[in-house]
Structures are given as structure tokens and as C-alpha cells.
Chains A and B, each alone.
Chain A
Amino acid sequence: MQPHLKRAFIILVLVIIGFLFVRSFIVPESFGQYGWYRGDSVAELRDIPVGYAGSASCSGINNECHKTTYSIWVDSRHKTVNCETCHGPSEKHVIDTRVMPEPANDTREFCGLCHFKRAARPADFPQIDPETHGENLKCAYCHNPHKPWFL
């Protein structure tokens, strides 16, 4: 081989080796642990803190904090509606009761998200005419959000 070709060839080989060398540092250690991805990322994604604690953490299993509200709620028509669906994510409040969750939205529009008359809703779902029902008062004036038929 001609000397200049040999030199060009050596440079090429050096570049490739340099590349492999750099690669061996930079590719994360856990890459390929389970598949063609960074194995550590699974643990990272699992460790994200939870925001919604679930109704069971308000009372019942672990504590008795909201015993009254909870007990009327569990056998109301609203038992399928999670506390946090109206009250917002409350895990922080569960861990530390000094952190208060945002107050529940008690506007007509909020109840209306579920209850205003809409053509696309299943017909058997209880719906009301937003214009006429309840004389434009807040819903909680007549209904208890935790047990709609408390009156």
C-alpha cells in the first residue's frame, strides 16, 4: 500500500477507536439491562410521587379522619364519585394534614359538568336543565354534595 494511503487508513482507524472509546463512557450503565433502553428509567418513572390518594385514605381503612362525611358518602348516590374528583389531588394533605387541599369547587357549572342536560350523555343518567332547575341557586343550597338526597 502507498504510504499516504496507509496514513489515511490509520487516521480512519484512530477515529473509529476514539469513537468506541468515547461511546464506552457515555452510554448509561443500565442501557440494555432489560431491552434497548436505559433500565434505570423504569425505576425513575415508578418513583414519581403520587398526587391522588384515593377515597379510601380519607376514612375507612387507615384512619377515621372524615368519618361523618365518608359514612354518608359511601351509601349515597355519589358513592361512585371519588372525593378527589371534586376536591382535587390530596395526597399531600393525607401525608401532612397541615397542607390543606384546594377548597372544592361548589359552583353550578362544576356540578353541571356531570349533570347538565347534554344530548351525548346516556339518557338514564340524571341530568337537569341548567336554565330552570334550582332557581339559579348553588346546588349545595338544596343538595348535599356528599349525599345528594339529604335535603
Chain B
Amino acid sequence: MAVENLVWGYIYPNEIEIQWSVLIVLYPYITGLVAGAFIASSLYHVFGKREIKPVARFALLTALSFLLVATMPLLTHLGHPERGIEIMFTPHLTSAMSGFGYIYSFYLIVVVLEIWLSFREDIVKNALKCKGWKKQMYSALALYSYDISGKALHDDEKLAKKLAIIGIPSAAFLHGYVGFIFGGIKANPWWSTPLMPIIFLMSAIVSGIALLILLYIAASKLRKKVLNYETLFSLAHYLWVFLILDVALELLEIISMKYESLEEIEIIDRLLSEKIATTFYGVQLTMGIFIPFVLLILVMVMKNREQLKTLMIAVSSIFVVIGVFAMRWNVVIGGQEISKSLSGTNTYVPVFFSQEGVLPAIIILTIPFIILLVLTYILPPWKDMDEDID
């Protein structure tokens, strides 16, 4: 049958079926976007970078909307989704995956609280101003407590800052641990590296910032408002910095693998040259890192010409977002395409309509944008963008 053409060399008989599909590619991708967006907002909330303020609350909403769907690809993928909650009830602590439930919930609480605190003034004002069901909703959101005196707001802000400080390590943890899920698998030479968590984290931040840039540009265009170039360029600047860290780590991993040339190097070489050559060298490195890297340098050296620079930043961000997806793909799918017998490769063929197919993946990837739309309707973050900073 066709199976023979997909297999090269010898793979263990049980490896014919690829276990982790495109949904599992999506999962680290989505948590990455969450972690990145949150860290972008912390640039303002914790490090006081005022030029980020216009998008700080927007970034939080983005983080929340992606966070809410982060469990979906996992649950869809499980053989017994109804038993998924066991991961919270009886987490087996030696497993990297077992932390998921708790880290996720903790982080969700932090993000929700952070959003609640930073929007509370608006919520209370709406609760007092609106009528009908809206009044009910905002009053519930305000927990029927309407104190927005200077002192109350000041306390909120202090707590929000503390939360943001807790939030950074937990964002790093949430995503670093996703990297460890792969990095801790000694059976798989393509995954097993201590660099994995930090590579995941860097690419997470990169993808989160890029997504934020894109959403910011899109939101401004849709609302027919002018962009705040200072914010945009400073985001682009951070994107560039994290890109450097990201590429340094990714290359370090490949180079040391090739240099050390352990037993598995033959199969890794084959993986890189035959199986994932385009997605790795083409999409992940060239499109996802080098082109944006060069474009962003140009943005930084060029004077004036805001329109062109915005376009270049937008293009870089799109490339980065795609490149990071390719990176997740290369890790998750690439790692499964090599046999643990180290003497053969398999091929992943995505199916469209199936529980673990491309269709559910697309659906899951569009849900966060719908959630974001709803969230921005309930809690509009626009006034930060519109009022002039400085």
C-alpha cells in the first residue's frame, strides 16, 4: 500500500502510526503566543516601559483569549477526553505533563485577576452608567463593589504590579515546561536536549510580540485610527532583540548536535535534509528568522518613511508568526518522523476531516480571535491606544 512509500529504512512496527498530530503542534504554539503576549504587556506593567502602555491592556486580553483555548487541542487529542481532569486530581509529579493542569490554572487566575484589576475602573463606571442586562453584567464583574476612589485604584495598581511580577516567571514556567515535555524525552534524540525549554520560551516571546504587533496594526486599521509609531517601533525593537536570542539558541542546538556527532547524527542529518528541509531551513530559519531580522534592522536604521516601516514590521511579524509555527511543527512532527530505532524515518500525512485533523486545528486557531472580539467588546482597551502618551 501507500504506507511503504512513506517509510524509509526500518521503523519499529508500532511506529507506523504517528501519535502526536497537528493538534499537538498547535498546543505549544498557542501557549507560546500566550506567554509572549503576557510578557509584552509586562514590559509596561512591571518594567514601566511607558511606550508599551497603549497596547499593555490589549496584550493582556490577547493573552487571555489564547489561554482560554490552550486546553482545547489537548482535550481534542486525548483518547478519553472525559478523563482529562485526572491530570488535576492525581497529577503524577515525575511527569513533565502533569504540571499542566496546575500551572495552567494558576496562570489563568493570574491573568484574569490582572485583567480584572486593570479594567476595574472601566467596569465600575459602566456598571453605574449602563442600563438593563449590561448593568447586571458589569455589576457582576465588579463583584457588586463600586469603590473607585483614588486609594482603591492605587491599591489595585499595586496588586496588579505584584501579580505581573508573579506572572512573568509563571509565563516563563508555563512555556518552559512545555519545552521540557519534549526536552525530557531521552528516547528521542531530536527532542532530548536541555536547551529545549529555553528555545521554546524564546520563540514563544518572539511569536507573542509578533502577534501583538499584527493585532495592534489590524485593530488600528479596523478602527480607522492612526498608529502610535513610538509603540510600534519599540515593539519591533523588542521583537528584534528576542529574535537574536532565539536564533542563537536554535543554531547552538543544531551546531552542537552536528559537532558532537553522536550515534543519532545519521538519522538527524536525514531528517534535516530529506524530511523537514523546507520547513526547517526554509520556513523556520530563513522566513521565520533571517528575513525578519534583516527587515527589522532596516526599520531601525531608516529615518522617517513611517508607512514603509510599518509595512516592513507587519511583514516581519507575519513571517515570524509563521516561522514559529514551523518551528513547533519541526519539533513535534519532525521528532516523530524519525524512528527510535535510529535506522528509519516515517512520514506524517495530515488528514483534513478527523478528530485530529487539520479542520479542528483551524477551528481551534480561529476561536481565540472570536474570544478576543468579544472581550474587547466587553472591556474595550482602545482608550489607551487613542490617548497620547507623554
Do A and B contact each other directly (Cβ–Cβ < 8 Å)?
A: yes
Scan residues 11-54 of chain A and give those whose CB is less than 8 A from a CB of chain B.
Answer: 11-12, 19, 23, 26-27, 31, 36
Any chain B CB within 8 A of the CB of A122? no
Q: How many residue pairs bridge A and B at CB < 8 Å?
A: 34
Contact B143 A8 (CB under 8 A): yes
Name the one of B92, B145, B159 contacting A7, with C-beta atoms under 8 angstroms: B145
Main SS at interface, chain B = helix
Scan residues 48-103 of chain A and give those whose CB is less than 8 A from a CB of chain B.
Answer: none
Contact B145 A4 (CB under 8 A): yes
Total contacting residues, chain B, CB less than 8 A: 18
Q: Which residue of B lies closest to A20 (CB)?
A: B89
Main SS at interface, chain A = helix
Cβ–Cβ < 8 Å partners of A4 in chain B:
120, 142-143, 145, 147, 152
Contact A3 B145 (CB under 8 A): yes
Cβ–Cβ < 8 Å partners of B116 in chain A:
8
Contact A5 B159 (CB under 8 A): yes
Q: Which residue of B lies closest to A38 (CB)?
A: B90
Cβ–Cβ < 8 Å partners of A26 in chain B:
85, 89
Any chain A CB within 8 A of the CB of B113? yes
Any chain A CB within 8 A of the CB of B155? yes
Cβ–Cβ < 8 Å partners of B159 in chain A:
5
Q: Using known A-B contacts A8-B113, A12-B109, A26-B85, determine if residue A3 contacts B90 with beta carbons closer than 8 Å.
A: no
Contact B90 A27 (CB under 8 A): yes
Contact B147 A36 (CB under 8 A): no
Complex CA distance for A23 and B101, rounded to whole angstroms: 14
Min CB–CB distance A38 → chain B (angstroms):
9
Cβ–Cβ < 8 Å partners of B85 in chain A:
26
Q: Which residue of B lies closest to A15 (CB)?
A: B109
Complex CA distance for A83 and B156, rounded to whole angstroms: 79
Total contacting residues, chain A, CB less than 8 A: 14
Contact A23 B152 (CB under 8 A): no
Contact B92 A5 (CB under 8 A): no
Complex CA distance for A19 and B140, rounded to whole angstroms: 22
Contact A7 B143 (CB under 8 A): yes
Scan residues 91-119 of chain A and give those whose CB is less than 8 A from a CB of chain B.
Answer: none
Question: Interface centre among A2, A26, A36, by most B CB within 10 Å?
Answer: A2
Cβ–Cβ < 8 Å partners of B142 in chain A:
4
Cβ–Cβ < 8 Å partners of B145 in chain A:
2-4, 7
Q: Which residue of A lies closest to B155 (CB)?
A: A2
Complex CA distance for A27 and B87, rounded to whole angstroms: 11
Complex CA distance for A19 and B159, rounded to whole angstroms: 25
Complex CA distance for A114 and B43, rounded to whole angstroms: 71
Cβ–Cβ < 8 Å partners of A5 in chain B:
155-156, 159
Cβ–Cβ < 8 Å partners of B88 in chain A:
19, 23
Min CB–CB distance A122 → chain B (angstroms):
22
Contact B90 A2 (CB under 8 A): no
Complex CA distance for A143 and B3, rounded to whole angstroms: 40
Complex CA distance for A2 and B120, rounded to whole angstroms: 13
Q: Which residue of B lies closest to A7 (CB)?
A: B143
Complex CA distance for A19 and B147, rounded to whole angstroms: 30
Min CB–CB distance B339 → chain A (angstroms):
21
Min CB–CB distance B32 → chain A (angstroms):
27
Q: Which residue of A lies closest to B146 (CB)?
A: A4
Complex CA distance for A53 and B120, rounded to whole angstroms: 72
Name the one of B89, B109, B113, B143 contacting A23, with C-beta atoms under 8 angstroms: B89
Complex CA distance for A49 and B329, rounded to whole angstroms: 43
Contact A3 B147 (CB under 8 A): yes
Contact A36 B89 (CB under 8 A): no
Name the one of B92, B144, B147 contacting A2, with C-beta atoms under 8 angstroms: B147
A to B CB contacts below 8 Å, 28 in the list: A2-B145, A2-B147, A2-B152, A2-B155, A3-B145, A3-B147, A4-B143, A4-B145, A4-B147, A4-B152, A5-B155, A5-B156, A5-B159, A7-B143, A7-B144, A8-B113, A8-B116, A11-B143, A12-B109, A19-B88, A23-B88, A26-B85, A26-B89, A27-B89, A27-B90, A31-B90, A36-B90, A36-B92
Binding site for B on A (CB under 8 A): 2-5, 7-8, 11-12, 19, 23, 26-27, 31, 36
Binding site for A on B (CB under 8 A): 85, 88-90, 92, 109, 113, 116, 120, 142-145, 147, 152, 155-156, 159
Closest 8 CB pairs of A and B: A4-B145, A7-B143, A3-B145, A23-B89, A27-B89, A2-B152, A4-B143, A2-B155
